[in-house]
Amino acid sequence: MNEPNAKIPGLAARQSAIRLLDAVCRRGETLDQAMPAATGKLSNPSDKSLAHNIAANVLRWMSALDAMIDSATRNRLADDAKPRMALRIALVQVLILETPQHAAISTALPLVHGGPRRLVHGVFSTVMRGIESGKLKLPEYPAIPEETENRWMQNWGPDIGDAASQAWSKPALLDLSFRDENVGEFIQQFEGESLAPKHLRMLPSVPLTQLPGFDEGAFWVQDLAASIPARLLGEGNVDGGAKTVLDFCAAPGGKTMQLASNGWKVISVDNNAKRMERFHDNLSRTKLEAETVIADLMKWKPSEPADAVLFDAPCSATGIFRRHPDVLHCIGSRQIADRAEVQRALLERVAPCVKPGGVLVYAVCSLEPEEGEEQIEGLLEKRDDFEIEKVTSGELPDGIEPQADGTVRTLPNMLAEQGYLDGFYIARLRRKS
Ligand SMILES: C[S@@+](CC[C@H](N)C(=O)[O-])C[C@H]1O[C@@H](n2cnc3c(N)ncnc32)[C@H](O)[C@@H]1O
């Protein structure tokens, strides 16, 4: 049976957007987790990307949109009420995505039924009048949700809130990691900037797959901060032979590809079969080699300790909030404590996989010290056979300095002029011989 509204152009994408928001705000799922179920009925990829774009921008601009909605209602709508969701979706399209008003409201009204439809129409019109008269205005930058902003300011200082808001207001630039050293020809072609060896940062202009060199596997997408952990292991080739590295929590393979292209013999382990499919696609496109294992690191161990281990631990992912605005709506202190517990347990299993004299690089894309600094402090308290091997400035991309203890912490206020970077904590440890 046809749905009564099935013929309204663009409605299906908005229905998917409201499902995505429901999954994030009510069920605590990430946008990526929610995409298959929420957009499964959309056959057109551009509708899927519109649904994602609407939901991501609602999550980014939520507090400003809500302030406008609240200014136009006598009785405050519940945070997860459908009329509020429909209004957020309509308003973000007009204010951020430059959708014409009539298209935004005609596709928002069918998202609610009965009396609330009149309410949505009334609030939308009042807000639009407020904007036209200059009484209502979107702030210059989206606000970081209060709980997160307070936590970050406590941990990283008072300036971090504003810097994070500014970083959040613009789509992240595209960072590419290259298989080979000769990035020069691409810098000109892509009008990009290189901030480290084998790196290029550019404004995304065409779909990634249409960039020259993509089919040949010359590069892959990887935030500059995410490329630091593998950089700290250097070259894998010594005296004509390749050293072995265990890449733990490896899918979809960004760090494995760096390591393999730097001459390491890589054994990559991850427990997510779906992400490992993407990993295998990446390897075959870039023609790089690695041995892959689908296994849970709480159970699996290698036949012998390796020269190096790169452990990119599963984490809250609050450091990648620019491209994943959902994380700031689903991660709070309880989730951070849960992730920290998992990291502690995994680190205990990972450490013995480094051979004496070998190196362990620990990384998390998190802005929470419980998942970064405190994990390494905890490991060093438990194991006196490991010590920090200090990172030097020369090993890091331009504009990033190591911390006093020789570990690396990237923050949302770094590289502002060049377009910012993700929040990571990275430590390099050596196991004593
Ligand atoms: C931060 S992501 C890895 C990104 C990857 N290193 C890269 O550079 O492309 C964390 C990964 O940890 C994996 N993971 C989580 N728990 C795991 C476990 N117990 N055993 C193995 N892998 C696990 C997840 O499937 C996920 O792919």
User: Phi and psi (nearest 5°) for 232?
Assistant: -75, -10
Task: Name every residue whose Cβ is closer than 8 Å to that of residue 344 and which is 6 or more positions away in sequence.
Answer: 375, 378
Q: Does 255 appear as a known binding residue?
A: yes
- Cβ atoms of 142 and 165 closer than 8 Å: yes
Which residue in this structure is represented by tokens 């928002």? Answer: 108
Query: How much is the pLDDT for 2?
Result: 43
What residue spans define the domains of the chain? 11-132, 231-431
Task: Let me know how many helices (H) and strands (E) the chain has, helices first.
Answer: 15, 13
User: Phi and psi (nearest 5°) for 37?
Assistant: -70, -40
Residue-wise pLDDT for 123-168, tens only, equals 999 999 999 999 999 999 999 999 999 999 999 999 999 999 999 9
* Residue 3 pLDDT > 60: no
Among protein residues, the one with the nearest Cα to ligand 1's atom 25 is 272
Query: Of the residues 33, 249, 311, 353, which should be mutated to test ligand 1's pocket, given the most ligand atoms within 8 Å of the CB?
Result: 249
Give the tokens for residue 207: 């779909």
What does the alpha-carbon distance between residue 67 and residue 88 come to, in Å, rounded to a whole number?
Answer: 11
Determine which one of 315, 330, 353, 365 is catalytic. Answer: 365
* Rg (the chain; Cα; Å): 23
Query: How much is the pLDDT for 5?
Result: 59
226 CA closest ligand 1 atom index:
8
Label residue 239 by pLDDT band (50, 70, 90).
confident
Provide ipTM, 2 decimals. Answer: 0.99
279 CA closest ligand 1 atom index:
9
For the domain spanning 231-431, the CATH number is: 3.40.50.150
Q: Does 34 appear as a known binding residue?
A: no
Query: 251: CA distance to ligand 1 center in Å?
Result: 6
Which residue in this structure is represented by tokens 């152009």? Answer: 9
Residue 365 appears among annotated catalytic residues: yes
Is 252 near ligand 1, meaning CB less than 6 Å away?
yes
For the domain spanning 11-132, the CATH number is: 1.10.940.10
